[in-house]
């Protein structure tokens, strides 16, 4: 697909799988927002925080592994 040279079905599958956990967490957060002490709300917020932290850690590892010698960009 375009600049990344990836087939559209693979791109679509990756996008859907990548967005599904956050879609579920945000949906549960939205339905339980009226009672922020409910277990559903607390678990969803913790799950979203875990997703964000894991994504940031994966990105940091990726950047460390693929360091570029052009650090002056």
Tens-digit pLDDT profile for residues 37-53: 999 999 999 999 999 99
Predicted confidence at residue 71, as pLDDT, reads 54
72, pLDDT greater than 80: no
Q: Please, are residues 19 and 29 in contact by the beta-carbon 8 Å criterion?
A: no
Measured CA to CA, the distance from residue 73 to residue 69 in angstroms comes to 10
Q: Please, are residues 29 and 41 in contact by the beta-carbon 8 Å criterion?
A: yes
Enter the pTM of the model: 0.68
Neighbours of 25 (CB within 10 A): 19
Measured CA to CA, the distance from residue 10 to residue 49 in angstroms comes to 27
pLDDT-derived band at 6, boundaries 50, 70, 90: confident
User: What are the residue ranges spanned by the domains of the chain?
Assistant: 2-64
């Amino acid at each position: 697909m375009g600049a990344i040279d990836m087939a559209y079905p693979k791109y679509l599958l990756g996008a859907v799988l990548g967005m599904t956990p956050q879609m579920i967490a945000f949906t549960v957060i939205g339905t339980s927002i009226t009672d922020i002490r409910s277990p559903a709300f607390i678990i969803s917020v913790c799950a979203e925080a875990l997703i964000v932290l894991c994504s940031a850690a994966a990105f940091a590892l990726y950047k460390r592994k693929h360091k570029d010698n052009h650090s002056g960009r």
